[in-house]
């Protein structure tokens, strides 16, 4: 009965993938949001037929029995859901780890106390600029930067595990160094993400804000300098990602997808079919898992730059109608990363 630490988890994750256990679930509680981000991938900000609380609780029971360990509550703005804290508590009552993706606009002192009671694995806050003008321009909400800074302080004062995440755009790339300095000032991890994605309805409007080629190059240099170049380890016969195997996503109306980015082929809806049945029976899930294998083979066969750069087939389908369609931004990232790594 000797316990083992840390190293066992990598094996656990690999086995979950091999056995098609949905280790991670993204629950989009609501499309409602307090911000109107210029590049938002949600095509609407209102729930037409919100999933009732009892259905969400049944989903949590099914996730527990399916083998899920990580539940991410996202949106929209998940804290705008009327039962956000109740659902988060119920996730924890089932001994699952909860991560919250939030813009922080609804986190005051009282909300931070309630968040502390949940004991989240992490709280990922959206930061869109190092200054109020840049951040607020992106969110479309004057005062959102100051509100976010207050939220960070409320959460930090309770020793909660906060992470900042910044989708890099042509509007904020000039503040890259200041963003890093801001996060360092708070002593909080910062994720700088070079990828924007099309809207869930296929609209490519968000891509108009894609950061420049020189911005991507500079970002990769900065990430390289701190040893954080985004890297995927692919091997022949492996799988590109967890789509259809170790992830799933459920939208605010109960529709289930094999991944939060895989929006073009749903598995079904939990209002009419239990999640356990959808997961085991869905042809859409199995097809997505097969595509992940094919995409891995395609990337490995291209060259080392492609083979080692993170790639999202769901995003490719939304953008180009095929999972085998590298974007210009992906190619720039792959080439820049390869130059920085040097020959293997």
Partner 1 sequence: MYRYSSKIAWQSLDDEVVVIDLENRRVLGLNSSGAFVWTLAETHTVSQIADALSDGYDVEPSIARSEVQSFFDDMCGRGLLEKIA
Write out the residues near partner 1 by the rule CB under 8 A.
1-9, 11-12, 15-16, 19, 21, 23, 67-69, 92, 95-97, 119-121, 161
Return d(Cα 157, Cα 144) in angstroms, integer.
20
Q: Which residues contact 44 (CB under 8 A, 6 or more apart)?
A: 31
Q: How far is the CB of 6 from partner 1 (least distance, A)?
A: 5
122: enclosing H helix or E strand: strand 122-126
Q: Are 227 and 233 in contact (CB under 8 A)?
A: no
Q: For residue 16, give Cα distances in angstroms to 2, 31, 73, 246, 280.
A: 22, 30, 21, 7, 14
Q: How far is the CB of 100 from partner 1 (least distance, A)?
A: 13
Nearer to partner 1, 114 or 264 (CB): 114
Cα atoms found within 13 Å of the Cα of residue 52, Cβ hemisphere only: 5
- Is the peptide bond between 39 and the residue preceding it cis, with omega within 30 degrees of 0? no
Q: How far is the CB of 104 from partner 1 (least distance, A)?
A: 20
β 268-269/255-257 pair status:
antiparallel
Terminal alpha carbon distance of the chain: 42
Q: How far is the CB of 67 from partner 1 (least distance, A)?
A: 6
Q: How far is the CB of 261 from partner 1 (least distance, A)?
A: 24
Q: Which residues contact 281 (CB under 8 A, 6 or more apart)?
A: none
Cα atoms found within 13 Å of the Cα of residue 218, Cβ hemisphere only: 14
Nearer to partner 1, 160 or 312 (CB): 160
Q: How far is the CB of 4 from partner 1 (least distance, A)?
A: 4
Nearer to partner 1, 14 or 49 (CB): 14
Nearer to partner 1, 115 or 336 (CB): 115
Nearer to partner 1, 4 or 48 (CB): 4
Nearer to partner 1, 45 or 114 (CB): 114
Nearer to partner 1, 121 or 326 (CB): 121
Vertex 171: Cα angle to 166 and 175 (nearest 5)? 65
Class of residue 252 by CB neighbours under 10 A (exposed 0-12, middle 13-18, buried 19+): buried
Tokens in use for 293?
């294998």
Q: How far is the CB of 12 from partner 1 (least distance, A)?
A: 5
Nearer to partner 1, 16 or 317 (CB): 16
Q: How far is the CB of 246 from partner 1 (least distance, A)?
A: 11
Tokens in use for 326?
């590298």
DSSP-derived secondary structure letter, 25: E
SS3 141: coil
């Amino acid at each position: 009965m000797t316990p083992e630490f840390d190293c066992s988890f990598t094996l656990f994750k690999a086995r979950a993938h091999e056995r098609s256990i949905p280790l991670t679930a993204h629950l989009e509680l609501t499309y409602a949001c307090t911000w109107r981000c210029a590049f938002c991938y949600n095509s609407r900000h209102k729930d037409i037929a919100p999933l009732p609380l009892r259905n969400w609780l049944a989903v949590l029971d099914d996730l527990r029995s399916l083998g899920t360990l990580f539940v991410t509550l996202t949106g929209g703005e998940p804290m705008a859901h009327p039962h956000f804290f109740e659902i988060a508590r119920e996730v924890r009552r089932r001994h699952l780890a909860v991560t919250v993706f939030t813009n922080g606009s609804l986190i005051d002192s009282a909300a931070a106390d309630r968040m502390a009671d949940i004991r989240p694995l992490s709280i990922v806050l959206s930061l869109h600029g190092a200054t109020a003008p840049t951040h607020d321009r992106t969110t479309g909400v004057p005062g959102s930067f100051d509100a976010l800074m207050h939220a960070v302080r409320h959460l930090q004062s309770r020793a909660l595990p906060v992470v900042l995440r910044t989708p890099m755009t042509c509007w904020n790339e000039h503040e890259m160094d200041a963003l890093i300095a801001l996060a360092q000032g708070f002593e909080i991890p910062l994720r700088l993400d070079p990828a924007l994605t099309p809207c869930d309805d296929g609209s490519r409007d968000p891509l108009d804000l894609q950061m420049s080629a020189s911005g991507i190059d500079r970002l990769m240099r900065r990430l390289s300098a701190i040893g954080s170049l985004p890297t995927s380890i692919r091997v022949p016969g492996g799988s590109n990602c967890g789509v259809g195997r170790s992830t799933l996503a459920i939208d605010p109306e109960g529709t289930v997808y094999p991944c939060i980015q895989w929006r073009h082929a749903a598995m079904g809806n939990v209002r009419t079919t239990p999640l356990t049945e959808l997961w085991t029976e869905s042809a859409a899930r199995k097809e997505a898992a097969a595509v992940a294998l094919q995409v891995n083979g395609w990337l490995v066969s291209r060259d080392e730059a492609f083979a080692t750069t993170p790639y999202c087939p769901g995003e490719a389908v939304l953008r180009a109608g095929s999972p085998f369609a590298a974007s210009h931004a992906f190619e720039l990232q792959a080439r820049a990363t390869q130059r920085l790594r040097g020959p293997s």
